Amino acid sequence: MTTMHAVAIAVTFLWLGMVLAISFLEAPLKFRAPDVTVRIGLGIGRLVFDALNRVEIVWAATLVLTVIVGGARAAAVAAAMTSVAVLVAQMVGVRPRLTRRSNRVLAGEDAPRSRAHHLYVGLETVKVLALLTTGVLLLAG
Mean pLDDT, the chain, rounded, equals 93
- Is the pLDDT at 105 greater than 90, yes or no? no
- Is the pLDDT at 110 greater than 90, yes or no? no
What are the b/e assignments for 123-137, b being 16+ CB within 10 Å? bbeebbebbbbbbeb
- Is the pLDDT at 111 greater than 90, yes or no? no
Give the Cβ contact number of residue 102 at 10 Å: 21
Task: Identify the band that residue 106 occupies on the pLDDT scale cut at 50, 70 and 90.
Answer: confident
Span of 15-19, 44-48, 51-55, 108-112 with lowest mean pLDDT: 108-112
Is this structure's pTM higher than 0.75?
yes
pLDDT in tens, 63-78: 999 999 999 999 999 9
- Is the pLDDT at 31 greater than 90, yes or no? no
Task: Identify the band that residue 132 occupies on the pLDDT scale cut at 50, 70 and 90.
Answer: very high
- Is the pLDDT at 96 greater than 90, yes or no? yes
The confidence score (pLDDT) of residue 81 equals 98
The confidence score (pLDDT) of residue 122 equals 96
Cβ contact 128:86 at 8 Å: no
